Amino acid sequence: MTDRIKKASRHTSQSEGLIFEKSAPGKRGIELPRLDVPAVDARQALSAAHVRETVNGFPEVSEIEVIRHFTRLSTWNYAIDLGMYPLGSCTMKYNPRVNEFVARLDGIATEHPFQPIQLSQGCLKIMQALQNCLLEITGMDAVTLEPSSGAQGELTGLLLIRAYLESQGNPRQKVLIPDSAHGTNPATAVIAGYQVENIRSDARGQIDVERLRQTITEDVAALMVTNPSTLGVFEQHIAEIAEILHANGSLLYMDGANMNALAGIARPGDFGVDVMHINLHKTFSTPHGGGGPGAGPVMVKKILEPFLPVPVLAGKSDGTLTLDFSRPKSVGRMRAFCGNFGVLVRALAYALAYGPGIRQATEDAVLNANYIRKHLEDVYELPYKSPSMHEVVFSDARQKKYGVNTIDIAKRLIDYGFHPYTTAFPLIVPGAMMIEPTESEPKEECDLFIDAMRAIAEEAATNPEVVKTAPHSTRVGRLDEVSAARKPILRWQPKASGEAAD
């Protein structure tokens, strides 16, 4: 091959420039018919205030160039349909095709949110059925399907807590958050107008119950717990923690992002949780990543029901369903219409297709994580030895002496054909390597992953350079993430004429 061959590379490995670089004056995707009326100058018709002059070099390209550009980019994706996606804390499980089949059924896919309520009974029944599934699995009393992400679910939950406490006379000031919680929890509490107080985990990665009992004050509105925590460890004293909070007039919020370790086995409603969200794009197998879109339904105990966002699904005396907007204590709307309805359909399809099998999905998720733990714990440091649930957190402590850190190992994993695990999180583990295989993975794929991780551990000791400079098999090598964050270039600019292209 010589440099003059520009096209003869496999499409799966060829690089792709920016669409701006394909631009040439006058190229068009659409050819309009010849005008049979006098031409109007759009600039004049819209007036100067509506003409944007700041976009320089807007791409002028043909339709096939657009199609090829994005189709080529799409082949760069790594997806669960290509291989294991062990991104801890994210529950990147398989999205069963039955979900997609159901969501595309004519009577469902073509529904419109402005359809009259009497013609939307099917959609409302779908929502009702999903609500019942979620309440059964979580052991809670009432639910809203409106929130459209885990973080929005958290905010909804905290607003419910605030509204409830206000109705009791005092919204209080503080929200307690363990250091093993999800990173979004403190942000949520602040947006809901609360001060955050961190509480430290003990050596086993558990909330220190005695310390909580001694330090809790009457300005504590709630504790936000992620259970199992980001260490993949179940809070064994969760019921006792709930009692301490309730005796103090405080509420217990549970981040249900890790429900993949509990669904079908333990119900948060039974261990004292007052309000929680669940990520349908995790536990209920709806698409995750690339924008999802997500869905973060919120489940509450009876005391919080009057405050749920509007509209609330309600039954009428004639047996039909309706949307109830007259809820004077409601925190208001969290999202237009009824949330991401298409995602709700997929979640229900999953729940009905698997039914009681959800318990086995949970058991398999826990089994897979422990299988990987068992086969890697002799080569990677396991900072918390408590039993693992659906994910396992190692650290790079043993590889550090060779100058290899968690990010290097993650990058090298790309060369072995896997999506990286979650790096450097949770923060309470320095150099964390957080691995969540989910129940989707057969033993054979887990074994391939284990082989790759063991091979990298060996390389770190014998040939650390190859790990530190990974990845080597990709279109572009190691990206300079520091410069990208410090001096981001957020907009393409046309090159000055005469400047050499690179």
The binding site for another protein (CB under 8 A) comprises: 397, 423-425, 427, 430, 481-482, 485-486
> Is the CB of 249 or the CB of 430 nearer to another protein?
430
Within 10 angstroms of residue 476's Cβ, the number of other Cβ atoms is 7
> Is the CB of 179 or the CB of 447 nearer to another protein?
179
Nearest distance in Å: CB 482, another protein: 4
Nearest distance in Å: CB 485, another protein: 4
Crossing angle of helices 443-462 and 406-415, in 10° steps, is 120
> Is the CB of 193 or the CB of 357 nearer to another protein?
193
Angle at 311 between CA 307 and CA 315, to 5 degrees: 100
**Which has the closest alpha carbon to 471: 395, 405, 423, 408?**
408
> Is the CB of 414 or the CB of 450 nearer to another protein?
414
> Is the CB of 120 or the CB of 406 nearer to another protein?
406
Evaluate whether 259 touches 278 at the Cβ level (below 8 Å).
yes
**Which has the closest alpha carbon to 271: 309, 316, 234?**
234
246, two tokens: 């309730």
Q: Spell out the residues 6+ positions from residue 287 whose beta carbon is closer than 8 angstroms to its own.
A: 95, 281, 293, 343, 346
> Is the CB of 289 or the CB of 383 nearer to another protein?
383
| Cα dihedral across residues 347, 348, 354, 357: positive or negative | positive
Evaluate whether 146 touches 312 at the Cβ level (below 8 Å).
no
> Is the CB of 353 or the CB of 397 nearer to another protein?
397
Nearest distance in Å: CB 175, another protein: 14
> Is the CB of 316 or the CB of 385 nearer to another protein?
385
Nearest distance in Å: CB 392, another protein: 18
Within 10 angstroms of residue 474's Cβ, the number of other Cβ atoms is 14
108, two tokens: 């469902």
Task: Tell me which residue has tokens 């679910």.
Answer: 153
Nearest distance in Å: CB 346, another protein: 33
> Is the CB of 367 or the CB of 397 nearer to another protein?
397
State the DSSP string of 331-396: ---SSSTTS-HHHHHHHHHHHHHHTTHHHHHHHHHHHHHHHHHHHHTTTSB-S--SPP-S-EEEES
At 430, give phi and psi (nearest 5°). -65, 130
Nearest distance in Å: CB 283, another protein: 26
Q: What does the alpha-carbon distance between residue 295 and residue 315 come to, in Å, rounded to a whole number? A: 23
Nearest distance in Å: CB 431, another protein: 8
Nearest distance in Å: CB 144, another protein: 30
Nearest distance in Å: CB 479, another protein: 11
Task: Tell me which residue has tokens 């052991």.
Answer: 139
